[in-house]
Amino acid sequence: MEEVLLLQVTYTTCMANDFGYEYVYEKGIEMFADQGDILIAISSSGNSENIIRATNKAKEKGCKTITLSGFKEDNKLRELGDINIYIPKEHYGYVELCHQIILHMITDTIGEANKKDE
């Protein structure tokens, strides 16, 4: 998937203006994701419509999905991933900090695996 494009401010602005902010990530996945790609979907509340839509589109396209959410145990995002990581707190700061640590761990693990492959 073209992760760099999805993080560009111009892309985000264009998609939000043309389709609406609720579709901003879904459209990118629709256009660029391939079966077997991995989406890491992050929403502190687990109920952000644009993240839910993106995750559903990724699953539809045959992507693997990892979700990171918090707040309420029954949030929508928590049910959508192949792997679901839930932080049982209802405070943005704590949830986001935990998500950041988890993302660092994922990045470090991938980096170490790549070193072994060299």
Q: At residue 25, does pLDDT exceed 80? A: yes
DSSP label at residue 67: E
User: Average per-residue pLDDT in the chain?
Assistant: 92
Give the pTM.
0.88
Tens digit of pLDDT for each residue in 53-94?
Answer: 999 999 999 999 999 999 999 999 999 999 999 999 999 999
